[in-house]
Structures are given as C-alpha cells and as structure tokens.
Structure 1
C-alpha cells in the first residue's frame, strides 16, 4: 500500500524555500527568484524599448543589424544564452562575475528581443496619420515618436509586458543550471538532502510558480479590460 503524501518537509524547510539562508547568508529561494525576475524585467523593458525603436529606424544601416540581432536571439534557446553569459562575461571582464549577474544578463538579452517585438507592434498599431500630422506642425520625427506615438503605444503594450513578465518568472528556473540558488535549485538541494520527499517538494514548487503566474496573468486580464474600457469612453 502506497504511503500518503507527507508535506512536513515543506513546513520544516519553509523559510529556506522562501529566502534561502538570508539574512545569515545569501538570498535564495523564492526571494531570489523574484529578484532575478524583477531586475531582468526592468532591464528588459528598456532594452526592448530601445531595440524596438531601432528596428523601426528609417536608416537601413541601423534597422537591418538590429533586426538581425533580434531574430538571432529569438532563434536561440534561453539556456544557450545563459551559458554564453556564464562563460563569456568573465572572459570579457577578466574577472569572476557572480552567477546571478550572468543569469540576469542572459534573461535581459533574451527577453529584450521578445519585448522589442511588442514595442514594434504597439508602435505600428498607431495610425501613421498621427505622425504625419505631428511632423506637419513642425515637430521632428523623433519628437513625434516621443511625444505622440510612443505614449499611446505603451498603453497598448502594458498587458503584453505583464504576460512577458509571467514568462520571465518561469524562465528564472533555468538559473539552477549554473548554480544560482533560486526556488528550483533550493528544492533540488532539499530533495538531494532528504532523498525521501521528491513528490511533495516539486508539487510545492509547482504550486508556488502557479500562484505567482496566475496572479500576474489575472492582473494582466484585469488591466487589459480596464484599458479597453477607458479607450471606449
């Protein structure tokens, strides 16, 4: 007869799951997962914004290399990008780089490529007549983009940005490959130590990811409905 699930291992290690050894050691667990996701999301927003604008440049010398970079990154698995950052950054900087930093850089580059397409679609969704009207009033092209087109486009991009953030939370689980002590890595450590509760540990980890992703997905749907309601007024 099979034994019932025993989640006592979760209760005994709950603090370790949440924050690792912090404050007596480095941050880990869910706390580090959220740190990686938030920092990468902020950097990816600006990276995606810059890449998206450059991909729409009127100058082919700028537009084509940027689009080539975006398509190249999007065509490579995230795990490969993380490995590149893990081995490439120390070689370029000539010193040891913290594993968490290499993961943030990998996530930022990868997510920026995807966010750039959100920015591009958001800008192209604004009627070109608005840009032409702004230019006819004396504004330069970059001023029309900055003051007229981009503010409207960003409002339409917000739900997609939130969805990308949800995907980014799940992508942080790949950080355990390079030894970053985020939630999945902590669960693996506890499982290797106990060797008795793998089902309970990974059910708990899956539940944590589900709650986080469901909360942000629900927020995205609410935000999308809110923006649609305001647009209809």
Structure 2
C-alpha cells in the first residue's frame, strides 16, 4: 500500500515546513501562553479578592469563555470585530485586524480563562498561615501575593501550566481556518500543491505527536523533581 506514496515530498518541503510553519506555531504558542498566564493570574486574583463584583465578573468571564468552541471564537473575532470597531470609531470602513492579531488575541483570551483556574487552585493550595504571617510582618495584600503566595503557587502549578501549554500548542493548528501558514497550514499548502494529502497530513500528525510526547515526558520529569523538593 505504501508503494504509491511519495514521501520524498516531505524531504523537499522540510525547510518551508519548519522554518516558516513550525517557527510561527511556536511563536504563537509562546506569546499566547505568556499573555494567558499574565491575564489569567489577574483573573484568579479578582476571583479570590474580597470584592464581590470583581469576583462575579471574573467568574462570568471564565464560564463564558470555557463554554465556547475555540474555532468559533476565532471566526467571530476575525470577521465581526472589524465591523464592531467600525461602529465604535465611526470609521468609513471596517477596522483591519488581520489573521495573526485575531488568532493571538483569541488564544490569549481563551488561555487566560484556563490559566486562571489553574492559578486559583494553586493560590488556594498555599497554607492560610503564610498570608497571615506576612500580614503580621506588615506586608500589604499586593506584597503578600507578589513575594509570598504567587511564587509558591507558581511552583506548585508549574507542571499543570506546562501541560496546558502543550494543549495550547496543539490548538494553534486551528488557525489553519484563517489560512495562516502555521505548521499545519504549511503542510496543507504543500499537500494541495503537490497532490500529496495523505503523506503530508501523516507527517504533520507525526510531528505533533512526537513534540507533544517529548514535552509531556519532560513535564512528568519536572513534576517528579518538584515532588522530591517538597
């Protein structure tokens, strides 16, 4: 059955697949993870704050985002936000957002919701005696969170955060629907150009599988080391 396959098309396209496609995928993953972690931490602090309105708003945001399909929000943002921007600014034509900005903002919004729940559980895992001791030493709430609680919570939740980042890496393939040349998009272009869909999609699946497995193994090793330190 494999006799009819032309796997040489993969060799000829390696430069384009990895230099252009995979580099874009990794860049989008890194930026989305960083932005999601920053905003997710802020949302987690809002949910844990003593202000009821902030907690309600943050909880509503998390529940709303997690109930929507990611690919649908990518479409919404790319097609609807330019018209919303036109309506808000009174411009004569839709505001240009672009596929990269649309995908990046969408992923940051989504990851913020998921990272916030991870950080919230990490913050709640810290003993209540430590914030109380920090308060007794004269530290403010923000100083306590910055110097006492968040560093420990981040260390406790690091394996889970990295696991969510692996899921994010896999989800970035959805930007293919916007014709962005990520790794899957690059593989699809080569497949359609050379008429070798099976070979290219098999290779793309293998690359995602290998990278995800290696990353997952590294996370398990890190988790074991953190458990030993504790």
Pair in the same fold by TM > 0.5 = yes
What residue is the counterpart of 1:227 in the other structure?
A: 226
* Residues 147-158 of structure 1: pairs in structure 2 closer than 5 A: 147-158=147-158
Task: Tell me the residue number matched to 1:101.
Answer: 101
Task: Report deviation, 1:132.
Answer: 1.7
Number of the residue aligned with 1:22: none
Q: Which residue is 1:54 aligned to?
A: 46
Q: Secondary structure at the match of 1:38?
A: helix
Structure 1 residue aligned with 2:134: 134
Contact 1:162–1:220, Cα closer than 8 Å, also in 2: yes
* RMSD after superposition: 1.6
Which residue of structure 2 lines up, in the alignment, with residue 162 of structure 1? 162
Report 1:44-193 matches (<5 A): 44-94=36-86, 95-193=95-193
SS at match of 2:102: helix
Deviations 1:180-205 (A, max 9, x none): 1111111221222222x222111110
Q: Distance in 2 between matches of 1:36 and 1:16?
A: 17
Q: Structure 1: any 5+ residue segments left out of the alignment?
A: 20-27
What is the CA deviation profile of residues 128-154 of structure 1, one whole-angstrom value per residue up to 9, with x for unaligned ones? 121122222322222222221111111
Please report how far the alpha carbon of residue 29 of structure 1 lies from its aligned counterpart in structure 2 after TM superposition: 1.2
Q: Would you say 1:213 and 2:212 are equivalent positions?
A: yes
More helix by share: 2
Match of 1:43 in 2: 35
Task: Tell me, in whole angstroms, the C-alpha distance in 2 between the residues paired with 1:55 and 1:144.
Answer: 17
Deviations 1:61-82 (A, max 9, x none): 1110111001100111111221
Given the superposition, is the C-alpha separation of residues 2 and 40 from structure 1 closer, same or farther in structure 2, using an over 3 Å criterion?
closer
> Structure 1, residues 77-134: CA drift from partner, whole Å, max 9, x if none?
1112212221244335453122111101111100110000000000000111211222
Q: Distance in 2 between matches of 1:118 and 1:7?
A: 42
Shift of 1:2: 6.7
Match of 1:24 in 2: none
In structure 2, distance between residues paired with 1:87 and 1:227: 44
Equivalent in the alignment of 1:33: 25
Alpha-carbon distance in 2 for matches of 1:144, 1:35: 33
TM-score normalised by L of structure 1: 0.89
1:228, distance to aligned residue in structure 2 (A): 1.1
